[in-house]
Structure 1
């Protein structure tokens, strides 16, 4: 059976899961434990040095994929359902995915910076046994993991204002593109999509909103949800949050 290793609260993992689910590709999901699970992940990827991250898909034929877009493309060649990478939209999908990646990186830096000021949210990042037995230790361990993540992916040194500009530029472009698009369903009550048909571009840009207002279905503790919510952007882009929620209702059935 194909296995997907990921983090339940990660938008990158959600991009991969959504693609697999919408195409009806069977797989098992396994939660990745940062730090503790890294040695095994390095062995799986055959990468003993450098940066490693999830999601990682191990296909039933032994192939290993370590990028959400690559996983989505793999899924698109299997199963059935909406075509996520229609040939006529390839270039535009690639551009939108790149835009979403920049915005997601900026959103992650902003969310983790907020988390560093919230001991309760930091504790929620620690493994449950440590959290239950040692509350103060859990917060310190969570802080270590958050700072390590910020160092791992870089960009935090760019500063809050630079990250905010990146987020705003991406969200403004999303809003403008949706305003030009037609409803995706013949009845007119389906949510708008970026390119006409529902594609991976919609999945990718919807995940940018995780760092504005996490969806209700996302498994987060109350304190972690505070950190991932961006008060500066939540009200300003309430229409896009509503669009994301409509997209989930229409296309996220699994």
Structure 2
């Protein structure tokens, strides 16, 4: 059976899961435990040095894919359902994927910086057994993990204002692209006039504005991933994301 290793609260993992689900590709999901699971992940990826991250898909034919877009392309060649990478839209999908990646990195830096000021949210980042057995240390351990993540991916040194500008530029472009797109029947408007991986990728930018109700987050973590200023400014895009989930994220 195909296995997907990921983090339930990660938008990169969600991009991969959504692609697999909408194409109807069967797989088993396994939660990745940062730090503790890293040695096994390095062995799986045959990468003993450098940065490793999830999602990682181990296909039933033995292939190992370590990028959400690569996983989505793999899924697009299997199962059934909407074609995620139609040939006529390849260039525009690539442009929107790049925009999504830059905005997600900025959003992650902003969310994790907010989390560092919230001990309750930091405690939620610690593994449940540690929270239960060592409750007073949970926030400290969570803080270590959050700071490690910020160092791992970099960019946090650019500053909050730079990250905000990146987010605003991406959200403005998302709004403009939706306005240019042709209506797609009775369902929600899509970026390219039909549902593609571009919709999945760009919808995830809004995780760091207003996490979807379906996302499994503790109440304190949800506070950290929420940005009230951007949520109100881009309420139309949050509503679009929610409609997209209702129409295409049924699994």
Q: Higher mean Cα deviation, 221-230 or 133-142?
A: 133-142
Equivalenced residues, count: 251
CA distance in 1, matches of 2:13, 2:136: 29
Runs of 4+ in 1 over 3 A off after TM superposition: 186-189
Confirm or deny: 8 A CA contact 2:112 2:150 kept in the other structure.
Answer: yes
Confirm or deny: 8 A CA contact 2:184 2:194 kept in the other structure.
Answer: no
Q: How well do the aligned residues superpose, as a CA RMSD in angstroms?
A: 0.9
Q: Secondary structure at the match of 1:220?
A: coil
Q: Higher mean Cα deviation, 134-143 or 61-70?
A: 134-143
Task: Give the deviation of 1:118 after TM superposition.
Answer: 0.2
CA distance in 1, matches of 2:82, 2:29: 22
Confirm or deny: 8 A CA contact 2:16 2:71 kept in the other structure.
Answer: yes
> Per-residue displacement from partner, 1:169-192 (whole Å, max 9, x unpaired)?
00000001111112xxx8843100
- Quote the residue 1:203 is aligned against: 200
Q: Higher mean Cα deviation, 145-154 or 130-139?
A: 130-139
Q: Compared with structure 1, are the counterparts of its residues 180 and 129 closer, same or farther at alpha carbon in structure 2 (3 Å cutoff)?
A: same
Q: Secondary structure at the match of 1:9?
A: coil
CA distance in 2, matches of 1:235, 1:187: 26
Q: Secondary structure at the match of 1:235?
A: helix
TM-score normalised according to structure 2 size: 0.99
> Per-residue displacement from partner, 1:151-180 (whole Å, max 9, x unpaired)?
000000000000000000000000011111
Task: Give the deviation of 1:231 after TM superposition.
Answer: 1.6
CA distance in 1, matches of 2:130, 2:145: 14
Task: Give the deviation of 1:136 after TM superposition.
Answer: 2.1
Q: Secondary structure at the match of 2:233?
A: coil
> Per-residue displacement from partner, 1:72-100 (whole Å, max 9, x unpaired)?
00000111000000000001100100000
TM-score normalised according to structure 1 size: 0.97
CA distance in 2, matches of 1:126, 1:35: 11
Q: Compared with structure 1, are the counterparts of its residues 131 and 88 closer, same or farther at alpha carbon in structure 2 (3 Å cutoff)?
A: same
